[in-house]
């Protein structure tokens, strides 16, 4: 089901991005343009820089060379711009990173209240809306520790959505989950994709990629090696490294 983005406006743009950890270059000349409403799946071997790229997009990591534009605004060293951009970009982590001392509802209302300035009542209304969307409104009063991994990850998705982000980043959202919980999280993400959310998702869930991705990006050794629609990438990879990688994950 290939998706044609409604507009060709650019949500995220990377131009010649380079990044080093000390002398080690993690990102090499990344060029990428993500249209509004586009769904990108990023895959590649461990250590290839997928997380680093995603984390640069919401300013959790700094890049040293090149430009990153989010929603038309360039990420610079200016902390204020970083804050402004992070508000528009939601992120879901591999290990959920819910706040253990806050209830599910409070996890979802904290940032809207402190960052967006919503009243408690407004924030709770938004939170319940998204908790219903991810199908766990009945857990709102519990603490994260009382929830299963799959439920926690769905809460993490709802928590990010409560900030009404324009772009959602996912960094291996299902790889810390027990197999039986992967589907509930992927279903939530498929639903989100159906709403037209711009998504960049690091995942090795090939079924998900085939179902929702407009493009698959394959990274290796800090480079974007191949970029293609999922059907093309999985069935007919052009690059030798992509082929090796696919052979490995498909056993």
Partner 1 sequence: MELNFDDVTRYGALLIEGSIFTVVVCVAAGLVGLCLAILFAEGQRRAARALRILIRAYVEFIRNTPFIVQLFFIFFGLPSAGVKIDANTAAFLALTLNVSAYFTEIVRGALETTPKGQYEAGAALGLRPRQVFFHVVLRPALAKVWPALVSQFTLVFLGSAAMSQISAEDLTFAGQFIQSRTFRAFEVYIVVTLIYAGLALAIRSLLLLSGGRLFPWLRGAR
- Determine, following the binding rule CB under 6 A, whether residue 43 of this chain makes contact with ligand ATP: no
Number of residues counted as binding ligand ATP (CB under 6 A): 10
Beta strands across the sheet bearing 223-228: 89-92, 167-171, 198-202, 39-43, 215-220, 223-228
For residue 57, the minimal CB distance to ligand ATP (Å) is 12
- Determine, following the binding rule CB under 5 A, whether residue 51 of this chain makes contact with Mg ion: yes
Nearest C-alpha neighbor of 84 from the set 95, 71, 93, 96: 71
- Determine, following the binding rule CB under 6 A, whether residue 19 of this chain makes contact with ligand ATP: no
- Determine, following the binding rule CB under 8 A, whether residue 238 of this chain makes contact with partner 1: no
Tell me the angle at which helices 120-133 and 104-114 cross, rounded to the nearest 10 degrees.
Answer: 130
Instruction: Tell me how far the alpha carbon of residue 94 is from its chain's centroid.
Output: 10
- Determine, following the binding rule CB under 8 A, whether residue 167 of this chain makes contact with partner 1: no
Binding to partner 1 in span 113-152, by CB under 8 A = 114-115, 143-146
HEC string for 166-201: CEEEEECCCCCCCHHHHHHHHHHHHHHHHCCCEEEE
Instruction: Tell me how far the alpha carbon of residue 145 is from its chain's centroid.
Output: 23
Interaction pattern, residues 46-85, with ligand ATP; x per rule: CB under 6 A: xxxxxxx---------------------------------
Instruction: Say which entry of Mg ion, ligand ATP, partner 1, none residue 159 contacts (CB below 5 to 8 A, set by partner kind).
Output: partner 1
- Determine, following the binding rule CB under 5 A, whether residue 152 of this chain makes contact with Mg ion: no
Spatial neighbors of 247 by CB under 8 A, at least 6 apart, are: none
- Residues of this chain that interact with partner 1 (CB under 8 A) are 58-60, 83, 86-87, 89-91, 93, 95, 97-102, 110-111, 114-115, 143-146, 156, 159-160, 163
Judged by the rule CB under 6 A, the positions of this chain that interact with ligand ATP are 21, 26, 44, 46-52
């Amino acid at each position: 089901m290939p998706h044609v983005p409604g507009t060709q406006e650019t949500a995220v743009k990377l131009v010649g991005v380079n990044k080093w950890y000390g002398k080690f270059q993690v990102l090499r000349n990344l060029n990428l343009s993500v249209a509004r409403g586009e769904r990108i799946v990023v895959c590649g071997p461990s250590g290839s820089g997928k997380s680093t790229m995603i984390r640069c997009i919401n300013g959790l990591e700094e890049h040293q060379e090149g430009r990153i534009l989010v929603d038309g605004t360039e990420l610079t060293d200016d902390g204020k711009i970083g804050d402004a951009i992070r508000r528009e970009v939601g992120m879901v982590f591999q290990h959920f990173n819910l706040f253990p001392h806050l209830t599910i509802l409070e996890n979802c209302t904290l940032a809207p209240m402190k960052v967006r300035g919503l009243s408690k009542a407004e924030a709770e209304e938004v939170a319940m809306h998204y908790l219903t969307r991810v199908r766990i409104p009945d857990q709102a009063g519990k603490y994260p520790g009382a929830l299963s991994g799959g439920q926690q990850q769905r809460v993490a998705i709802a928590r990010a959505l409560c900030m009404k982000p324009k772009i959602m980043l996912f960094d291996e959202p299902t790889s810390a989950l027990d197999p039986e919980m992967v589907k509930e999280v992927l279903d939530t993400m498929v639903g989100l994709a159906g709403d037209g959310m711009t998504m960049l998702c690091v995942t090795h869930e090939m079924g998900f990629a085939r179902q929702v991705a407009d493009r698959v990006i394959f990274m290796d050794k800090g480079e974007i090696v191949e970029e293609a629609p999922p059907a093309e990438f999985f069935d007919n990879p052009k690059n030798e490294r992509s082929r090796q990688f696919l052979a490995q994950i498909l056993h």
